[in-house]
Amino acid sequence: DIVMTQSPDSLAVSLGERATINCKSSQSVLWSSNNKNYLTWFQQKPGQPPKLLISWASTRESGVPDRFSGSGSGTDFTLTISSLQAEDVAVYYCQQYYSAPYTFGQGTKLEIK
């Protein structure tokens, strides 16, 4: 199984500042045949299901504010929120969909400082 490890486990950032969450996979999730990274980022607010933010490591989903961006390739990935807003308080998960079982990181809890 591919193990996904996020860092940090929790993060407190001031409003308007940058937030960075890292995700590392135990093996590459880059599919060589199409040069795509099978890596998504989800946002989950209390009492709600996860919301897909970023697919293919860096493609923002429709309706997701452009302050959210994803980067990385192979085994190392980053979710960046360029200017933190109050509504961004949530738990963020990375997930690989390269191979079953489709594993998630343990989550990063983002709070306002």
Give residues in contact with other proteins (CB under 8 A): 38, 40, 42, 44, 48-52, 55-56, 61, 93, 95, 97, 100-107
With beta carbons less than 8 A apart as the criterion, state whether 5 and 24 touch.
yes
Least gap, CB of 11 to other proteins (angstroms): 16
Least gap, CB of 67 to other proteins (angstroms): 20
Looking at beta carbons only, is 1 or 17 nearer to other proteins?
A: 1
As a whole number of Å, the end-to-end CA separation of the chain is 36
The bridge status of strand 108-112 relative to strand 10-13 is parallel
Looking at beta carbons only, is 16 or 49 nearer to other proteins?
A: 49
Number of CB atoms found within 10 A of residue 9's CB = 10
